Amino acid sequence: MIKVSIIEDNDTLRKSLINLLNHTEEMSCVIALSNLMNVVSELKKNQPDIVLMDIGLPNISGIEGVRIIKENFEHIEVLMFTVFDDDDKIFEAIKSGASGYLLKKAPPSEIIEAVFSLYHGGAPMSASIARKVINSFQQKASITKDTFQLTPRESEIVHSLIDGLSYQKLAEKYFISISTVRTHIKHIYEKLHVNSKAEAVAKVLKK
């Protein structure tokens, strides 16, 4: 069972998301909050696998919320759920530790698919968001190799991480074992001086 926490200040949308998750096989909403005021204690009590969170929250923003969650719960994946699709907010959320970015206009099936994808190692994004990230990455691909001394294969893998590929999909795409994928990613993390997929993508895009 995938345990999901919802942090959304719109009451109607929050209730709709609770209903969607609880009526999806292998998924449940373990807690739903309207703000981030007691987020650390609430997440500690309920231990979700994934947090589905709005950016435009009152008092404490969703971007700051990502930082708080990742500082206290490294294992929890954060999926941003928002109306914003401007570059600054996207990259700031990813840089802060978010592993996925979904627009609120996404249909219910896409929301469920994104949660499953994130749980199984993907980095789901709305198509328009993914295009923005990929375009930014492609513009800086040559700089990436020079700046971080990534091998051609490592650069390809970083690109595929932005595309949202899981370790299994990476292995299939490049005809290598999952163990070899882990080795490549370990080397990428060492060269970029990061500890997660989100940090690696954010650092590459920032450069």
Domain range list for the chain: 2-126, 140-206
Report the pLDDT value the prediction gives residue 141, as an integer from 0 to 100: 56
202 or 4: which carries more pLDDT confidence?
4
- Among 79-83, 110-114, 115-119, which stretch is predicted with the lowest mean pLDDT? 79-83
User: Considering only CA atoms, which of 163, 186, 184 is closest in space to residue 117?
Assistant: 163
2-126 is a CATH 3.40.50.1400 domain: no
- Per-residue model confidence as pLDDT tens digits over 138-152: 665 555 555 678 888
Residue 143 CB partners (closer than 8 Å, separation 6+) = 207
Residue bearing tokens 């969170």: 53
Share of the chain above pLDDT 90, in %: 47
- Per-residue model confidence as pLDDT tens digits over 120-133: 988 888 777 777 77
pTM of the model: 0.65
- Per-residue model confidence as pLDDT tens digits over 17-74: 999 999 999 999 999 999 999 999 999 999 999 999 999 898 899 999 999 999 999 8
User: What's the topology of domain 140-206?
Assistant: Arc Repressor Mutant, subunit A (1.10.10)
Q: Is the pLDDT of residue 137 over 90?
A: no
Q: Is the pLDDT of residue 108 over 70?
A: yes
**SS3 readout for the chain:** CEEEEEECCCHHHHHHHHHHHHCCCCEEEEEEECCCCCHHHHHHHHCCCEEEECCCCCCCCHHHHHHHHHHHCCCCEEEEEECCCCHHHHHHHHHHCCCEEEECCCCHHHHHHHHHHHHCCCCCECHHHHHHHHHHHHHCHHHHHHHHCCCHHHHHHHHHHHCCCCHHHHHHHHCCCHHHHHHHHHHHHHHHCCCCHHHHHHHHHHC
- The yes-or-no answer to whether 2-126 and 140-206 have a common fold is no
